[in-house]
Amino acid sequence: MSYLQDAPLGQTSEYVDQYAPELLYPVPRALARESLALTGTLPFRGEDLWTGYELSWLEQGGKPRVALVEVRVPCTSDNIIESKSLKLYLNSFANSRYADADSVREIITADLGEVAGEAVTVRIWSLEEAAAQSVWHSDGVCVDELDLTIDTFEYNPALLTTTTGEVHQGELYSHLLRSHCPVTNQPDWGTVVVRYEGAPIDPGGFLRYVVSLRNHQGFHEQIVEQMFVDLQRQCAPAKLSVLGRFTRRGGLDINPFRSNFEPAPANRRTIRQ
């Protein structure tokens, strides 16, 4: 991946603690989407929802502040923001002084929007505000306890099938999603939630498909788009949403959402986040 040869991911990095927007590194979305044959009009809309847990800066009087930052990047932006570069960027605020949290938010909003190539939405949460948020839960069907024998761990979208039955609205989810970073080969762990309207998706086939991604390489955003495309091609639902909530790495969690019918959900952490 020559486009990542200058990215900080997978390299030893110096931790800068004075504001340094030049640390941010863009990765063109088009490069990953070529392999999915996603050209022209996208079959989905959505966003990448980031939560940063390591944001700190100094008040004008020198006292440190800590907070969480939530970033929403539209999936239509030209670039994703390479995760380690975002970690380094957020850490660069640590010894810089600002009047208040809103000043920090405005700077982050401008910097990330410039790198992404489209306006982003940024919210800074105090620890009290973050603690008051409810934990994610689902009223759908968890497939993780199905009594299945699984004998393949190689990516296979053909495992996705539908069953006979009337068109209905359904929701399936699994906490067993694992994939690998295409640069470092480190495992990424997550929960995937699929909401749809169409022929019933076979829960056993869905579980086998999720497990087939266990050794598959892709950035978080690419994995969720891969799942959306595979579900659309194999099961042809009229309506489809895919949400991936990945556990944090480097003080960040990334939660891509893609849908052809509904807006992105609220940012509610899973128990592993």
Catalytically active residues are 181, 188
Q: What is the CATH number of domain 141-259?
A: 3.30.1130.10
Residue 171 has pLDDT above 90, yes or no: yes
Residue range 111-153, pLDDT digits in tens: 999 999 999 999 999 999 999 999 999 989 999 999 999 988 9
Q: Is 175 annotated as belonging to a binding site?
A: no
Q: Which of 115, 68, 75 is nearest to 90 (CA)?
A: 68
Which pLDDT score, from 0 to 100, does residue 183 have?
87
Residue 152: its pLDDT value, please? 84
Model confidence at 11, pLDDT cuts 50, 70, 90, reads low
Q: In the prediction, which pLDDT does 6 show?
A: 60
For range 85-103, the mean pLDDT: 97
DSSP readout, the chain?
A: -GGGTTSSTTS------S--GGG--EEEHHHHHHTTT--SS-S-EEEEEEEEEEEEEE-TTS-EEEEEEEEEEETTSSEEE-HHHHHHHHHTTTT-B-S-HHHHHHHHHHHHHHHHTS--EEEEE-HHHHHTSPPP--SSEE-TT--------S--GGG--B-SS--EEEEEEEEEEEEE-TTT--EEEEEEEEEEEESPBPHHHHHHHHHHTTT-B--HHHHHHHHHHHHHHHH--SEEEEEEEEPPBTTEEEEEEEESSSPPPP----TT-
**Does 198 score more than 80 pLDDT?**
yes
Distance, CA of 273 to CA of 270 (rounded, Å): 5
- Residue 106 among known ligand-binding residues: no
Check for a shared fold between 2-131 and 141-259.
yes
Tell me if 83 is assigned to a ligand binding site: yes
Instruction: Express each pLDDT in 174-188 by its tens digit.
Output: 999 999 999 889 999
271 is in an annotated binding site: no
Break the chain into its structural domains and give their ranges: 2-131, 141-259
The domain made up of 2-131 has a fold known as GTP Cyclohydrolase I, domain 2 (3.30.1130)
Is the predicted pLDDT of residue 229 greater than 70, yes or no? Answer: yes
Q: What is the pTM of this model?
A: 0.93
